Chains A and B, each alone.
Chain A
Amino acid sequence: MVKLKNLIISSEALAACAAFIVTYVCLGLSGIFSSVPSSLMKILHKPPALIGLLFLLVIIFVRLLIFAKARSTAGQNGVSGILFYMGIILTIIGILVSSQMRFEGRIYLPEGESFSGDARGYIEGSVYAGKRSFPPAMKLHMTNISPFFRGGRFGSGSIASELLYTGVGNKYEKKMKINSAVPVLADGVFFRIRSFGYAPFYRLTDSSGKLLDEAYPMLRLFPPGAEDSFRVEKQPYTFYMKYYPDRAVIRDKKIPIPEQGKGGLYKLRVARNLEVVFNGYVVPNEIYQVDSTYISFEDLRKWAEIEIVKDYGIFMIAPGLLMIFVSILLGWRRKTNVPKEVFGKESVEENR
């Protein structure tokens, strides 16, 4: 029993545990064993990291008890030390809670449309859920999306949008502004815009005017100059599109830019398997012949891809990390407040 206690409180056990977790996290972040590097949270949620964290939790807890007992017998308060240990314990518990309770998913939400909170409404493959997690109960209605373009080759931009958020059990409805820069918190759920695009409404007809297809394909056409494509069921065409809300930003001037109309303009290239059958700028609401079909773009909607994260662990991890930070600051302040001579005397005495 004494041996086990000595092993637990030994610095070696602590260092070994920390080395295990740090190595595991670094390998995960580097992506050396995987095709794509994982995120920090997903690495920490894997069984080896959780086992390491559990060991670390036990070691830290025992050390905290010993530390607190030693301080009380010496008549010292040791606030920074206790705060440091408590911070680590809270952070580890937060990660353990997060591994079980984290729900993460993404949705596409066009302007004017709603999301009911149903698990089936999330983008396929985007959901990451712990064993005891469930999707947040809420409703969202997208009222407005505003893209801001900053320029550059393929450009960088930021997105802001306004949502109508309906909380659990339809108890209240509130306006919420979210953006692509930082996550916004509402009812314990984090919202962030991950991508943005346009959904142009197309109408495809044959030469007799018979409707072949019409839809709003959600395309990643932001920032201006970005190209995306869509295909139409039972048609051999692939439609590659770009959208310029302002004609002044068009750089590709090899093809003449139409004079008619004002405002937005599409660049359309249509391939029929390995043959390009149309290449040019397209004015909204005009009909264009593409091979043996006719296409027109009559409406345009904006859409945003919203990341929704519900993770109670974060509410422990954040204060835990804050406590560690404060304890380091307190320890550093205490050290710098001690007169240098005292250190000098102590060190001289130690050397003797």
Chain B
Amino acid sequence: MKVCACAVILSVFAAFITVPSAWDNLRFKIGNYDIEGETALVKNAIRQFSAHIAGFYDSGGAAAGLNTIPAANMVKRRIAMDIRDLIDKGKVLAIDRDKSSVKQILFADLTHAVAVVDEDWFSQYQDAQLRARKPLSAKKAGFITVRYFLKKMWSRWIIIDYEVYLRDDEMMPVPFEQFLQW
């Protein structure tokens, strides 16, 4: 009986040391982590993303603004590309987030989270030079639901991708297998 117990303990030890981040995963699985603290950090990352993205569009894509956006390079590149495309056409997009409410935050593990957020945005195309003095379109309201995919890197949550839905659109199940590989 003692030998069997030793074998079981040895097996648990072997399973523990052969898996990377085993301690973090164990803490997550048994719920021994600060979920409220992490939720606050995720919300903060999304808030920062929205605030910086608005400022970045408004500034016409000032390069310094890129570093402040808590997002993966692919996301930043896409935003920068959009702004450059608008500048080429002599426009800037003035966007302003009116309201946002986090509907759901789901942690896939300690370093991957999915957040569903209802966001109300107002946007207006303006002349790149004359700005608000020469609006190129009427102020438009956009009521969207965004599903953010976040990853904790270097102790901070960053947005690695997002999906944009119209309010009350049906969402597909989260592709966890793919998401956890990011």
Contact = CB atoms under 8 A, between A and B. Distances in A.
Contact of A276 (B26, B29, B82, B166): B166
Interface string B112-127: 1000000101010000
A238 B109 CA distance: 27
B4 interface: yes
Interface in A6-44: 12-13, 15-17, 19-21, 23-24, 27-28, 31-36
A48 B18 contact: yes
B181 interface: yes
B31 interface: no
A275 interface: yes
A269 B3 contact: no
Contacts of B34: none
Contact residues of A: prevailing secondary structure: mixed
Interface residues of B, number: 48
Interface stretch (B35-43, B128-136, B150-158, B169-177): B169-177
Given A34-B25, A275-B142, A19 B8 contact: yes
A236 B7 contact: no
Contact of A227 (B6, B26, B172): B172
Contact of B7 (A17, A252, A279): A17
A154 B172 contact: yes
A32 B8 contact: no
Interface string A43-54: 000111000100
A12 B3 contact: yes
Contacts, number: 110
A28 B79 CA distance: 41
A268 interface: no
A279 B166 CA distance: 9
Given A16-B7, A274-B121, A229 B18 contact: no
Contacts of B109: 35
Interface in B10-42: 10-12, 14-16, 18-19, 21-22, 25-26, 28-29
Contacts of A227: 172
Given A16-B3, A226-B172, A273-B78, A36 B177 contact: yes
A20 B164 CA distance: 48
A234 interface: yes
Contacts of B82: 236, 272-273
B163 A23 contact: no
B87 interface: no
B66 interface: no
Given A15-B4, A48-B14, A238-B164, A274 B29 contact: no
A52 B14 CA distance: 11
14 contacts: A13-B3, A20-B10, A35-B21, A48-B15, A52-B11, A236-B78, A271-B164, A273-B79, A274-B142, A274-B164, A275-B121, A275-B123, A275-B164, A276-B164
Interface of A: 12-13, 15-17, 19-21, 23-24, 27-28, 31-36, 46-48, 52, 125, 154, 226-229, 231, 234-236, 238, 240, 252, 269, 271-276, 279, 292
Interface of B: 3-4, 6-8, 10-12, 14-16, 18-19, 21-22, 25-26, 28-29, 53, 78-79, 81-82, 85, 89, 95, 108-109, 112, 119, 121, 123, 142, 144, 146, 163-166, 169-170, 172-173, 176-177, 180-181
Which 10 pairs of residues, A with B, have the shortest CB-CB distance?
A: A236-B82, A48-B14, A23-B11, A271-B164, A16-B7, A33-B22, A35-B109, A20-B7, A27-B15, A33-B19
